[in-house]
Structure 1
Amino acid sequence: MQYRQLGTTDLNVSLIGLGTMTWGWQNTQAEGFEQMDYALAQGVNFFDTAEMYAIPPTPERFGTTETIIGHWFAARKNRDQVILASKITGPGLDWVRGGDNHINKKNLTLALEGSLKRLQTDYIDVYQLHWPNRGAYHFGKTWDFAPDFDAVAERENFLEVLNTLQGFIEQGKIRHFGLSNETAWGLMQYLQLAKDHNLPRAVSIQNEYSLLCRHFEPDLAEIALSEQCGLLAWSPLARGILSGKYLNGAKPAGARLTLETRPEHRTGKTVDDAAAAYIAIAKRHGLDPCQMALAFVNAQRFVTSNLIGATTMAQLKSNIDSVDLKLMPEVLADIAQARREFAQPY
């Protein structure tokens, strides 16, 4: 396993991070235990979860994944071997805290206490804001995103959040904090306010990134590198689309997009054509398409950890093994050409 420094901290996290959101829906607790056991044995020391998991989110499944991880910690007695990240849910789900779920001191406190209890731990290493209060271009909103907010009010909220997080750090309940599904403006505001007021500095930003979704480049990538606030890349296989299993309208039994109850924006001819192009590149060079896609993410200097997710042990093992794959220049050249043809599939 390879490791990279988490922001400006003294923590080194595994380049392959373990995503957990299928546990409690697509995966049983026993299967989650098996994945965690195997990943840790392979040197994966960074696990990422969230209070709203398992996915797709429902009131009944809220917190289920964290509960499974908590049971694993209790059974294995190995909390100190894992760098654990979790998240507070942003506004938008009317069944989370009665629909009044603006990220502020009150809700941060409620959310953190709930997560700590479910996870059966005294602290979370990286506590993240799942998405911003003001909205962003993620989750299929790229095409019609139109920022409309009060910048002064947002900065005041950011200061409230940072002061609250400082309190959590002083209490020993979290070690660091990170952002998720943020924009360049939001990330820079948080970093500047932390500097100006001697408050906690974001150590990471968790956004979607894959061969099919490269919105992180170039602006956020520049910030990640220059400000030492690296990317935790989620959905590096674009919800499994880069495996090819959904091509031509296929809906494999038990697969993520087959079970998904929410509208899916990663569909259509352009997405299919782009995925097929990348799969063809992998096959032309004798590579597994999923490992090639993951190796591409691993190779980016602005990436701190590549958050894989798997529903089977075979998938998990193959995904972790991608850390040993180095893409040759001719493969990267083909990928660059395909990107020009399919610059923004969704």
Structure 2
Amino acid sequence: MKMNPLGRTDIQVSELCLGTMTFGTQTEETEAHAQIDMALAGGINFVDAAEMYPVNPISAETVGLTETIIGNWFAKTGRRSDVVLATKHSGSGFKHARDGAPISSQTIPEAVEGSLRRLQTDHIDLYQFHWPNRGSYMFRQNWRYDPSKQSHAETMAHMEDALEALQRQVDKGNIRAFGLSNESAWGTSQWLRIAEEKGWPRVASVQNEYSMLCRLYDTDMAEMSVNEDVGLLAFSPLGAGFLTGKYQHGSVPQGSRMDLVPEMGGRKSARVFDAVDAYLAIAQRHGVDPVHMALAFTLQRPFMCSSIFGATHLDQLEHILKTPEVTLSEEILAEIDDAHRAHPMPY
């Protein structure tokens, strides 16, 4: 498994990252622990969580259960040092944690301590802000994105307040590195500028959605990543499961995400199935498994740090672990670009 630097830190992470958002809903604890075991045996050292997980569905009763399950694995195995552990502060809009309070110097210590307690660890390797306080164009909000109501002064004051609070967490040894999620190029650049001016934690990574079906990262964010050594942690690299082909022709496997969340977070449309058909045809023409093609595509992007996948069951994880053996040819990549031009922004 290839290892990549996490920003300008001294942390090295595997190019594939085990996402855990189903731990506690679709994936029970015993299977979740077996997944971590299998992932590490397959060369993965990177595990991503969040205080709001699990999802599918999100509920007040299960918030924090994913971190608890991971913490139980650490306690059971004693293998904390084998894992680069990432988690996230939920921030505003998530009513099940701190009544939806925004990210601030007041909420950061409480959120960090809560995650440390559930994870049964004394430090978090990568601590991420799940959403910007000012809002985001991610999760299909790009169609009518309007930043005109943002306050520049409030945003700058918030960033300084949050970074100073993060520095205190670094000084305590609670976190090692800082990352963003669902961020923009401008926002990331401001976090970087303030951190460098003040000597506070520098952004190491950005976790945004990225796949053959969602390529918002390809332009301004890509330029920022390459020039600032802030790699992408791609979530939903399989297009929330669409790119596996399992939802084509009206199929909805029992227990799948679409079975639990029929509209797939706004991703489901007639256009997405046409786009998936085009990508499946490329994989078939070249004799490449569609799961491996979708993941390998993300790994070969010039701005990639690690691609975060989720596996509900062990057999899915076993299949995904074969991805590093696959390298897409220039011919396949050109056909993927042609399909992207023919089916841009399918959701």
TM-score (norm 1): 0.98
**Paired residue total:** 345
Alpha-carbon distance in structure 1 between the residues aligned to 2:41 and 2:294: 23
Alpha-carbon distance in structure 2 between the residues aligned to 1:95 and 1:38: 32
User: Matches of residues 210-221 of structure 1 in structure 2 within 5 Å?
Assistant: 210-221=211-222
Match of 1:31 in 2: 31
User: Matches of residues 1-346 of structure 1 in structure 2 within 5 Å?
Assistant: 1-55=1-55, 56-99=57-100, 101-147=101-147, 148-260=149-261, 264-346=265-347
Alpha-carbon distance in structure 2 between the residues aligned to 1:211 and 1:143: 18
Alpha-carbon distance in structure 2 between the residues aligned to 1:201 and 1:261: 39
Per-residue CA deviation, residues 88-140 of structure 1 (Å, 9 max, x unaligned), is 002112232123x2000111111111100000000000000001111111112
Deviation at 1:318, TM superposition (A): 1.5
Per-residue CA deviation, residues 298-329 of structure 1 (Å, 9 max, x unaligned), is 11121100111101112111212111210012
Deviation at 1:11, TM superposition (A): 1.1
Deviation at 1:245, TM superposition (A): 1.1
Deviation at 1:264, TM superposition (A): 2.7
Q: Is the 8 A contact 1:168 1:174 kept in 2?
A: yes
Alpha-carbon distance in structure 2 between the residues aligned to 1:31 and 1:304: 27
Deviation at 1:262, TM superposition (A): 7.1
Range that drifts further, 275-284 or 246-255: 246-255
Alpha-carbon distance in structure 2 between the residues aligned to 1:278 and 1:250: 17
Q: Is the 8 A contact 1:239 1:257 kept in 2?
A: no
Q: Is the 8 A contact 1:130 1:180 kept in 2?
A: yes
Per-residue CA deviation, residues 50-97 of structure 1 (Å, 9 max, x unaligned), is 000001321111000000000000000010110000000021122321
In structure 2, the CA distance between the partners of 1:262 and 1:129, relative to structure 1 (3 Å rule), is farther
Range that drifts further, 183-192 or 263-272: 263-272
Alpha-carbon distance in structure 2 between the residues aligned to 1:153 and 1:144: 22
| Unpaired runs of at least 5, structure 2 | none
Deviation at 1:336, TM superposition (A): 1.0
Alpha-carbon distance in structure 2 between the residues aligned to 1:174 and 1:261: 37
Per-residue CA deviation, residues 7-39 of structure 1 (Å, 9 max, x unaligned), is 001111000111011110000000000000010
Alpha-carbon distance in structure 1 between the residues aligned to 2:290 and 2:221: 26
Q: Is the 8 A contact 2:20 2:66 kept in 1?
A: yes
- Counterpart amino acid of residue 124 in structure 1: I
Secondary structure of the corresponding residue to residue 47 of structure 1: strand
